[in-house]
Amino acid sequence: MPTILSRNAVSAPGKVLLAGGYLVLDGEYTGLVFGLDARIHVHIEPLPTSSGVALSEIIVKSPQFREANWEYGYRLTEDDGGIAVTQLRPSADQPLLQNPFVETALSYALTYISQLVPHHLIQPASISIIADNDYYSQPAKKRTSTSRFLDFDVPLWEAHKTGLGSSAALVTAFTAALLVHYLPRDVFDLASKEGKQRLHNLAQTAHCAAQGKVGSGFDVASAVFGSCLYRRFSPSLLQSHGEPGAYAFSSKLKSLVEEDEGCKWDTEIVKSAVEVPKELRLVMCDVDCGSKTPGMVKKVLAWRKEKPEEANKIWNELQKRNEGLAAELVRLSKENAGDYSTLRDCIDKIRALIREMSKASGVPIEPEEQSQLLDACSRVSGVVGGVVPGAGGYDAIALLVENKPEVIENLRTILAGWKVNQSVDSGAVKIGKVSMLGVREEMEGVRLEDPKIYGEWVQRL
């Protein structure tokens, strides 16, 4: 008898790399990454079929966007190749719009599931992906007066992302939802330490495959575990498992996820090294103008290769300052001191080193326009300081502020009238409207959700 499946829902948080941008690409260094309370949600339920009709189909939809529907067929391949996924064309006159993150995560997760329960039929399912509002700066509207989620009313490819790590949160929540849906709890338990580690390994592998490159992985780590101090895994781990359908892909993937046969992950994820005092909070301010992160990363790494002595001196000093920032946040959390002068000094010294790295590498990690914005925000009473997080550039800035309504209101006032000094020559880059996102730090990572909270967003087909 096949297992009777019920509805399930999982969410995973976005992220901000507060300290350790570029450094986190090297396993010798660490990054201080905060999970955010903006989440990607994945709701999954059985796909209704007519009596006597057998389907091997999974339908995925992102109902907040236009034309965001993907239909997939799946089959078990020969020679231990795992589950191959094929996108189906809804009709002959509609273009095939691909989503590599969904498709890759689906194939990898179903392959792993087929290894754990090889004699169970993977039943058809309907999956809905729903994003909290702050992932996009696109104007949006609520579908109903009671809905917590917005209808972005544009095709997905036209939406303006705010840089909170939507692809990593998506792959993590999507993978977790499939594992929770198809596997018995005694085989996979999302709440357990072992369950989270296996999810991390599988989501990292799928996310890197979907990107076409092995990234640092801090975004997936925070999506699974929440805020943490992160040291990346060795890229060589993900270079020999092959692709879905290839000989022994299924067995190799299982070994990689479960860390056997020499597949030990050397990543370091330390939750206890990250805390935010309850008197403080993280604030993100969206700059309606984005950076091309891969190009910036490439240039910084080329500079480091060309001038290793100069680069490593800055990187080592940054690592020391980043560790000091994390330690000071933990100290303030425990001692409840209320004096933020040391924390402010930590942030100022990190910014100075980032500007030094910007100048030496020729990459606008903290551009002058962002320096002006950070300086203006830092002058507001109750603002401890801030940085251009992650790879830097013209994405959102992150601030640590006193958790008081008047501080937030004063910040909003500054941002509402913000204009870049016209003497700054930013070339083709134009800073648009600056607005405060509704997000803050969150310690918790991936979690189960009540499927009922999504209401009309997951109406049955």
Instruction: Dump pLDDT digits (tens) for 229-259.
Output: 999 999 999 988 899 999 999 999 999 999 9
**pLDDT at residue number 455:** 87
The answer to whether residue 172 scores a pLDDT higher than 60 is yes
pLDDT per residue as tens digits for the range 347-393: 999 999 999 999 999 999 999 989 999 999 999 999 999 999 999 98
Handedness of CA 208, 210, 213, 216 (dihedral sign): negative
**Per-residue pLDDT averaged across 314-338, rounded?**
92
Query: What pairs with residue 33 in β-bridges?
Result: 17, 228
CB-hemisphere CA count at 13 Å for 94? 13
Distance CA 27, CA 121 (A): 41
pLDDT band at 290 (very low <50, low <70, confident <90, very high): low
**pLDDT at residue number 461:** 46
**Per-residue pLDDT averaged across 275-296, rounded?**
81
**pLDDT at residue number 142:** 65
**pLDDT at residue number 288:** 65
Q: From 58, 111, 77, 118, select the one nearest 241 (Cα to Cα).
A: 111
| DSSP class of 66 | B
> Whole-angstrom distance between the N-terminal and C-terminal Cα of the chain?
25
**pLDDT at residue number 276:** 92
pLDDT band at 287 (very low <50, low <70, confident <90, very high): confident
pTM: 0.92
**pLDDT at residue number 97:** 85
CB atoms < 10 A from the CB of 125, how many? 21
Distance CA 284, CA 277 (A): 17
> Do 290 and 429 meet the contact criterion of CB atoms below 8 Å apart?
no
Domains, the chain = 8-271+443-458 (3.30.230.10), 280-438 (3.30.70.890)
**pLDDT at residue number 263:** 86
**pLDDT at residue number 3:** 52
**pLDDT at residue number 96:** 81
Distance CA 258, CA 200 (A): 10
**pLDDT at residue number 138:** 63
**pLDDT at residue number 306:** 96
**Whole-number CA gyration radius for the chain:** 23
The answer to whether residue 432 scores a pLDDT higher than 70 is no
Sorted by sequence, the CB contacts under 8 Å of residue 444 that are 6+ apart come out as: 13, 35, 226
> Do 439 and 166 meet the contact criterion of CB atoms below 8 Å apart?
no
**Per-residue pLDDT averaged across 111-125, rounded?**
90
Bridge-based pairing of strands 280-287 and 228-231 is unpaired
The answer to whether residue 206 scores a pLDDT higher than 60 is yes
What does the CA dihedral 313, 391, 284, 13 come to, rounded to 10 degrees?
A: -110
Q: Looking up tokens 């999506």, which residue turns up?
A: 223
CB-hemisphere CA count at 13 Å for 454? 27
Average pLDDT, the chain: 89
Distance CA 294, CA 267 (A): 22
Backbone phi, then psi, for 56, in 5-degree steps? -120, 75
Sorted by sequence, the CB contacts under 8 Å of residue 335 that are 6+ apart come out as: none
**Per-residue pLDDT averaged across 119-125, rounded?**
87
Question: Phi-psi region for residue 336, left (φ > 0), alpha (ψ -120 to 50) or beta?
Answer: left
